[in-house]
């Protein structure tokens, strides 16, 4: 979101405008409280963890007791 702020208003006090979205995004869901974005030090860029709509999932294979199969 971005909010226009006028520091030199006619009333003498700063005036704050209406918030507007900067862009839309689909941030990736995370199971623990973690920020899904980072802002560059100059405030000009964002790095965001987003969902790729074309992504496919790959199964994970877990091998248990693998040390026993090495001894054969």
Residue-wise DSSP of 4-68: -EESS-TTSS-EE---B-S----BPP-SS---SEEE-TTSS-EEE-B--TT----------SHHH
Tell me what pLDDT residue 62 has: 93
For the chain, what percent of residues have pLDDT higher than 90? Answer: 22
Query: Which of 10-19, 24-33, 51-60 shows the lowest per-residue confidence on average (mean pLDDT)?
Result: 24-33
pTM score, whole prediction: 0.44
- Cα–Cα distance between 7 and 17 in angstroms, integer? 11
Which residue in 49, 54, 55, 1 sits closest to 26, CA to CA? Answer: 49
- Cα–Cα distance between 3 and 19 in angstroms, integer? 4
pLDDT tens readout for residues 27-42: 776 665 677 888 899 9
């Amino acid at each position: 979101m971005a909010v226009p702020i006028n520091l030199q208003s006619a009333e003498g006090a700063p005036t704050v405008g209406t918030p507007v979205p900067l862009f839309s995004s689909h941030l990736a869901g995370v199971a623990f409280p973690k920020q899904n974005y980072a802002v560059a030090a100059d405030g000009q860029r964002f790095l965001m963890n987003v969902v790729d709509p074309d992504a496919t999932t790959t199964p994970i294979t877990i091998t248990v007791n693998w040390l026993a199969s090495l001894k054969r």
